[in-house]
Amino acid sequence: MFHGNAGNIGHRLPIARMLINFIGCNVFMLEYRGYGLSTGEPDESGLFIDAQTALNYLRSRAETSKHKLIIYGQSLGGAVSIKLVAKNQKDGDIAGLILENTFLSMRKLIPSVLPPAKYLTLLCHQVWPSESLIPTITSVPILFLSGLQDEMIPPRHMRQLYELSAAPTKIWKPLPAGDHNSSMLEEGYFEAISDFLENVAGVTSKEEKQRL
């Protein structure tokens, strides 16, 4: 599970608990460098290294090396997830990707969040080019969870990512009253994730979900 820019993994524990209790899957949470109690300075290359290291860790452990993996990312975590899956999809152990309220690229997001800075976007060193990476994901199904009242990232970013996606299966789940950080409270949120695991990732029983 890759969280957004605000807060740390501690703020996402209720979501993890719901995934464990409602769906019955295992959850691995990563704290990026520079967030929470992790040391270092966060930047695009560093966060990707953190994500790749976490994936390699799961692949190396006897308890999880044979498991199907579902990559889940919200907001900034969605950009991390897209980049991670794009680079690792051919290895065959990533069964699905879940994206929630993420953006096309940092340069396209800045004018929406801070309009006066729109003329300075080319100076932004954190690119996160999700719109160019997502069409390259052709081996992994994707679930798009979009809060249509997102006040931070315009919902059109998610819709455009969905339209750009070349995934073998892609599912669009709008959450009409969902905003940026509380879409998980909307009706159908966890049901959509459960259905995705069952119908797209081929997971039907609780025992199989516990191998995620």
Catalytic: which of 3, 50, 75, 146?
Answer: 75
Residue among 207, 197, 156, 198 at smallest CA distance from 70: 197
Catalytic residue list contains 180: yes
The Cα–Cα gap between 167 and 183 comes to 23
> Which is the catalytic residue, given 50, 67, 130, 150?
150
Q: Which residue among the candidates 3, 67, 157, 180 is catalytic per the annotation?
A: 180
Answer yes or no: are the C-beta atoms of 97 and 140 closer than 8 Å.
yes
* CA distances in angstroms from 119 to 36, 82, 125, 154, 170, listed in the order given: 32, 26, 14, 19, 34
- Is-catalytic flag, 150? yes
Neighbours of 82 (CB within 10 A): 28
Q: Are 81 and 99 in contact (CB under 8 A)?
A: yes
| Residues catalogued as catalytic | 75, 150, 180
